[in-house]
Amino acid sequence: MENAKDTFYIMLRDRLTALNPERTISVRGVVRPGVLVEENELVTDAVVPDAFTLRWTALAVDPRGPLPLTTLTCEIRYATDGNAGNAGMDRGRLLAAMDVELSSALRAAPHHVVKMNYAGSSVGVAPVAMATNIFWSDVTFAPTVTTDEQLSRVATVEVFCYQEAGEQ
């Protein structure tokens, strides 16, 4: 399942970066695309504004086929405080822009990518393509939540993959 999670993250990060290369964040002094995976970051309750945070929340395995079909639920959380120059009065427009970016990235064709194994990859060492693909459902958007001066939303996507021999 880690291979499917990593592959989905890289696909989404690359598509969102192509749509809006200006959406970046600084994490521990490193500027990177504005997409985080919650389980890969330091534990914090703080919401990173103007970035997408992936949280894996559920897992189901259907063993009936030649390869077990795994379904992972991914919540994508995002929020904005608006621009300080506009006193945050543009936060609705900024949240709507994030909705469009996420929807466009997930609805772009193709709706599948080759599952990759990133376990041994590093600088100069490429990930290994696996034998199956991952694919995903349409995105579902929860209502906007207002907390103090911040607007936020949670979008949900089901990610599917076949569990290959040797995968855990």
The domain segmentation of the chain, as residue ranges, is: 1-162
Q: What is the four-CA torsion angle of 139, 136, 113, 72, rounded to 10 degrees?
A: 120
Assess whether pLDDT exceeds 80 at residue 114.
yes
What sections of the chain are H helices per DSSP?
Answer: 2-19, 91-107
Residue 73 has a pLDDT of: 98
Query: What residue type is assigned to position 27 of the chain?
Result: V
What is the distance between the alpha carbons of residues 161 and 115, in angstroms, rounded to a whole number? Answer: 8
* Residue 141, H or E segment: strand 140-141
Identify the CA nearest to 51 among candidates 101, 106, 10: 101
CA torsion angle 16 56 145 32 (round to 10) = -40
Higher pLDDT, 45 or 103: 103
Exposed, middle or buried by CB within 10 Å (0-12, 13-18, 19+), for 43? exposed
State the amino acid at position 11 in one-letter form.
M
Q: Which segment of 32-36, 43-47, 64-68, 157-161 scores lowest on mean pLDDT?
A: 43-47
Q: Which of 73, 77, 71 is nearest to 37 (CA)?
A: 77
pLDDT of 41 reads 79
Give the CATH architecture of domain 1-162. 2-Layer Sandwich (3.30)
Q: Any idea what the Cα angle at residue 135 is, between residues 134 and 136, rounded to 5°? A: 135
Question: Confidence band (pLDDT; 50, 70, 90) for 134?
Answer: very high
pLDDT tier at 116, thresholds 50, 70, 90:
very high
**What are the DSSP E strand ranges found in 47-139?**
52-62, 69-80, 112-117, 128-136
Q: What pTM does this model have? A: 0.92
47 C-beta neighbours (distance < 10 Å), count: 15
Q: What is the sign of the dihedral through the CA atoms of 29, 16, 54 and 4?
A: negative
